Amino acid sequence: MRMKPSASQLDCVVTPTKLGRGYRLGRGYSGLLYSIAVGFVVVSSMGASCTPRAGSPFNLMGPPAPVVLAPTATAADVVAAVNANTDRVQSYQASSASISMPESMGLPLVQASLAAQRPRQFRLRATTAITGPEIDLGSNNERFWIWARRNEPPAVYTARHDQWATSPARGQVAIEPDWLIDAIGLVRLDPAATYIGPLPRGDGTFELRTQINGPGGPQQRAYLIDAQSAYVREQHVYDAGGSLTASVFADNFRHDAATNISLPERVRLSLPAAGLDLTINTGPIVTNVPIADGGQLWTMPQLGSPAVDLAAAGNAAPASAWDLAGVNSVYGRTPEVVTPFAEPPAPSWQSASAPPQVAPAAAPSPTIGVARTAENQPSSPPTPRAGFVGIPAGGQVLP
């Protein structure tokens, strides 16, 4: 499956301009979120000279996706439709991706390659034409790893998945490694979970909510799903206190009729607590073909730096994870570079002014596979917080 590049993709040569002070991960401690912030801030301090790609077919639209959801779709129907699309993707490769940040006014800052295979195989490698490799972030079925050129001290940070689940460091990371696979469009919803919804939003989407056990306690997740095609257009994660910790906005979906697979070409990842907001334009996506370098892609690389086990007790010492301006900041970023924001600005392709703020439900959510009765469904949608733009007034839980 090959997908057409989006209009925002450009051929780009990155040239260094003014680099700030060294970027550090903190006192012997880090996590997935930290490396993402460090690596992409490096390229945000570079200049880019870009020209449109000659002959780019970004104006060519693929076939429309089939209608897979009825107006009366249940939570079980929505979950099944989302999972069916993901299950058709055996492998995913995007070798000519580009990454931009708000500071770059949408221009690509760094070239990247993406690859993924369910359940836990993922690789993101980012480079510039001048400095070479900047980020190597990956996961296999046993462990995940993080490397950024400007880590101080230089190290490949890693942990086994089973040990990371109980690591003290896990509670200080706002996003889980597995969630990056969901972020690029390979979303898989738990059929055994309980859900509130689907709740109609009046803009052609349903909202589906669920609660899971995440780092630091219970998390709420809200999914905004196209009411016909089952595209997952938005994903939002909230901590136990109801504060937004991560959002993904997906756009420029392409459908391949031969494989019946639909995937987004543009993904915006926002982590408000980290002051991180970046957009990935994937370029052409290839699915279900053999991986060129076989098992090596899913092997932790040898990059000339020592490996630091994040799950080891000695490496879990608290760090100033959210001190974005301090000299010991894990991000090493100055106040003028990073200004934390309460809510990320809406992307240009998103009509809402801010991600929804979901309040904890007062009533238990209905369980998939169990008939809905007055006892097991909410009498009304959960009360939204001030400024919530999701469920319209009078929205109701569909039967």
Residue 304 in tokens = 């000339």
Q: What's the pLDDT score for residue 101? A: 77
DSSP code at position 358: P
Q: Can you tell me the distance from the alpha carbon of 222 to that of 182, in angstroms, rounded to the nearest whole number?
A: 13
Q: What is the 3-state secondary structure (H, E, C) of the chain?
A: CCCCCCCCCEEEEEEECCCCCCCCCCCCCCCHHHHHHHHHHHHHCEEEEEEECCCCCCCCCCCCCCCCCCCCCCHHHHHHHHHHHHHCCCCEEEEEEEEECHHHCCCCCEEEEEEEECCCEEEEEEEECCCEEEEEEEECCCEEEEEECCCCCCCEEEEEHHHHCCCHHHHHCCCCCCHHHHHCCCCCCCCCCEEEEEEECCCCEEEEEEEEEECCEEEEEEEEEECCCCCEEEEEEECCCCCEEEEEEEEEEEEECCCCEEEEEEEEEEEHHHCEEEEEECCCCEECCCCCCHHHHHCCCCCCCCEEECCCHHHCCCCCCCCCCCCCCCCCCCCCCCCCCCCCCCCCCCCCCCCCCCCCCCCCCCECCCCCCCCCCCCCCCCCCCCCCCCCCCCCCCC
Find out whether 359 and 386 touch, Cβ atoms under 8 Å.
no
Q: What's the pLDDT score for residue 188? A: 94
- Gyration radius of the chain's alpha carbons: 21
Report pTM.
0.67
Which sequence spans correspond to the domains of the chain? 10-315
Segments of the chain scoring below 70 in pLDDT: 1-62, 103-108, 171-176, 215-216, 294, 313-399
Q: Can you tell me the distance from the alpha carbon of 386 to that of 312, in angstroms, rounded to the nearest whole number?
A: 42
Dihedral sign from CA coordinates of 246, 249, 254, 256: positive
Q: What's the pLDDT score for residue 211? A: 92
Find out whether 277 and 102 touch, Cβ atoms under 8 Å.
yes
Name which of 114, 238, 259 is nearest 174 in CA terms.
Answer: 238
> In the CATH scheme, what is the homologous superfamily, with its name and number, of domain 10-315?
Lipoprotein localisation LolA/LolB/LppX (2.50.20.10)
